[in-house]
């Protein structure tokens, strides 16, 4: 069986996807790279088709949660790793997520991505930190990090949920903690594109929080 399945959701990531896949290839375990092209309209499809082991093309943009779950359904590995498509060369740091899983020290590992430059204000992150702590008693430094890995046995739980958009990281943490999983945050130097404090960045964070709230409301119903 493949040791590690690396699932990369990608939406219009032609600038960084190739470097991300190539860096992920350096992980020294038998692995497969699954790229889920989430309705991209640039050259993402061509890059994924050439470099990934499996390219899943979604005909329209369905959101990060849907894309990841689609990739999980095709994963064959004993360990499932999720990486953002814009990590570029720093994706090689993902190796640090695997050792605690293989030593059975954790069920889910999450990368604490270093913050560079002028990112956002941390508004969404702080709200999610408090939300998870209130519901579980667990405080996470990086609850929104998309760089994470988990043991395959948790797929049944995670595929039983309906994840949409940017709500997936928050809900995944909640569901796994409530399910008895041990979460461990890992130091790494993985770096992805920061949205900044301009209008684009503000709108991104607004949509991110809106999608998280929508997921939470759906759970409560």
Q: Which string of b and e fits 194-208 if b means at least 16 CB within 10 Å?
A: eeeeeeebeebbeeb
Q: Which residues of the chain have pLDDT under 70?
A: 1, 115-121, 194-206, 209, 216-221
Q: Is 178 exposed, middle or buried (0-12, 13-18, 19+ CB in 10 A)?
A: exposed
Sheet with 183-187, side-by-side order of all strands: 54-58, 31-38, 4-10, 79-82, 148-151, 108-112, 183-187
State pLDDT tens for residues 85-141.
999 999 999 999 999 999 999 999 999 977 655 555 578 899 999 999 999 999 999
What interhelical angle do 44-51 and 17-24 show, nearest 10?
Answer: 20
Q: With a threshold of 0.85, does the pTM exceed it? A: yes
- Evaluate whether 180 touches 106 at the Cβ level (below 8 Å): no
Question: All domains of the chain, ordered by start, with CATH?
Answer: 4-220 (3.90.550.10)
Pair type for strands 79-82 and 4-10: parallel
Distance CA 128, CA 126 (A): 5
């Amino acid at each position: 069986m493949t040791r590690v399945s690396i699932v990369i959701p990608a939406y219009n990531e032609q600038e960084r996807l190739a470097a991300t896949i190539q860096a992920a290839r350096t992980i020294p375990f038998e692995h497969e790279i699954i790229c889920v092209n989430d309705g991209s309209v640039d050259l993402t499809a061509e890059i994924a088709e050439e470099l990934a082991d499996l390219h899943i093309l979604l005909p329209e943009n369905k959101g990060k949660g849907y894309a990841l779950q689609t990739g999980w359904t095709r994963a064959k590995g004993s360990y499932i790793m999720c990486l953002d498509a814009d990590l570029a060369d720093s994706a090689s740091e993902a190796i640090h997520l695997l050792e605690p899983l293989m030593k059975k020290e954790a069920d889910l590992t999450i990368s604490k991505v270093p913050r560079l430059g002028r990112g956002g204000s941390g508004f969404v992150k702080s709200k999610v930190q408090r939300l998870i702590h209130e519901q579980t008693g667990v405080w996470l430094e990086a609850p929104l990090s998309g760089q994470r890995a988990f043991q395959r046995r948790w797929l049944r739980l995670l595929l039983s949920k309906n994840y949409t958009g940017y709500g997936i990281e928050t809900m995944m943490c909640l569901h796994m903690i409530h399910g008895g999983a041990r979460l461990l945050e890992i130091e790494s130097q993985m770096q992805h594109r920061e949205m900044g404090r301009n209008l684009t960045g503000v709108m991104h964070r607004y949509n991110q929080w809106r999608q998280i709230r929508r997921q939470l409301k759906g759970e409560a119903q």
